[in-house]
Amino acid sequence: MNSLTIEYPAEVLWALQQEPEEFAAEARLLLALKLYETGKLSTGLAAQVAGVPRVTFFYLLGQHGLSPFGETPEELEEDAANAQ
């Protein structure tokens, strides 16, 4: 597996009140969420980037207001209304 190193000031950890491992896990998750949100990665690949199982990634999508279907709830409602 490939890796990515990001330099950041120590003050970031203080500002977020996080340990380095906590910050790294959150950064991985946020990167994965954004790559999924912009349509660049599937849920499976994004889950791998986040370092979590795919089912957990589905849950995390909901926690961050994103749909695992690639559409917003409003778009799904509109599609359902148009289908009737």
d(CA 29, CA 80): 31
Sequence ranges of the domains in the chain: 18-83
The answer to whether the predicted template modeling score (pTM) of the entire model surpasses 0.75 is yes
Q: Which sign does the torsion angle of CA 72, 73, 74, 77 carry? A: positive
Contacts 24+ apart (CB under 8 A), 26-32: 29/60, 32/57
pLDDT in tens, 22-42: 999 999 999 999 999 999 999
The pLDDT of residue 75 is: 64
